[in-house]
Amino acid sequence: MNPRTVHLAVYDTYADWETGHTTAHLTQNGFTVRTVGPTTEPVTTMGGVRIQPDLALGDLRPEDSALLILTGAQLWDTTDDLAPFAATARTFLDAGVPVAAICGATAGLAREGLLDDREHTSAVSFYLDATGYKGGEHYRDTDAVTDGDLITAGPTEPVAFAREVFARLGVYEGEKLDAWYRLFHDSDASAFEVLES
């Protein structure tokens, strides 16, 4: 396993805003973020930004990664085009490599059966119920959830999502993790001093 490389899935209609905190602070703390697309052809985010993926999904191996991040996208709910990303998430989890999914990516994981036996969250419970998954009893109505190697969050919680990733990868811990969250989620200026100490 490469403990310092994180893979960010990118695809058309990718929700730009959901991983900015996560990837920026991972990079500032010594991680390399590599983008993974369906192919290496450019994709266009929901915000109209073109991204040239670093590698194609077919070339991604869990042993080369510390984490796979899956973001929301309109395509999760309108086509099966992103199903291979959910299947790759299964391969990662089976290999003991963490996966972090936010927004519509949680529905993709639900369709893949990855939420049937794990605690998780999403936008709302009935959003996942519509996938026909069997994990409703494990749904938690909270900002973000970590269950072992799986992190999930709803679309309005990019800061809580980042907090869970940082905790799982040991980027920030204890008082510093709490301070980071208070600064970026609550605009608590007193947290800045803790982060800088």
pLDDT digits (tens, 9 = 90+) for 169-185: 999 999 999 999 999 99
Which position among 26, 66, 101, 103 bears the catalytic label?
A: 103
68 and 9 Cβ atoms separated by less than 8 Å: yes
- 129, with CB counted inside 10 A (0-12, 13-18, 19+), is middle
Tens digit of each residue's pLDDT (9 = 90 or more) over 105-159: 999 999 999 999 999 999 999 999 999 999 999 999 999 999 999 999 999 999 9
User: What pLDDT does 3 receive?
Assistant: 76
Instruction: Tell me the pLDDT band of 196, cut-offs 50, 70 and 90.
Output: confident
Q: Specify whether domain 5-172 bears CATH 2.60.40.1180.
A: no
Q: pTM for the complete prediction? A: 0.96
**Residue 78 and residue 60: Cα distance in Å, rounded?**
25
103 in catalytic set: yes
**Residue with tokens 């805003």, as numbered in its chain:** 17
Give the per-residue pLDDT at 66: 96
3-state secondary structure 73-141: ECHHHHCCCCHHHHHHHHHHHHCCCCEEEECHHHHHHHHCCCCCCCCECCCCHHHHHCCCCCCHHHECC
Three-state DSSP at 20 gives: helix
Domain range summary for the chain, segments of one domain joined by +: 5-172
Task: Decide: 16 and 29 in contact? Cβ < 8 Å.
Answer: no
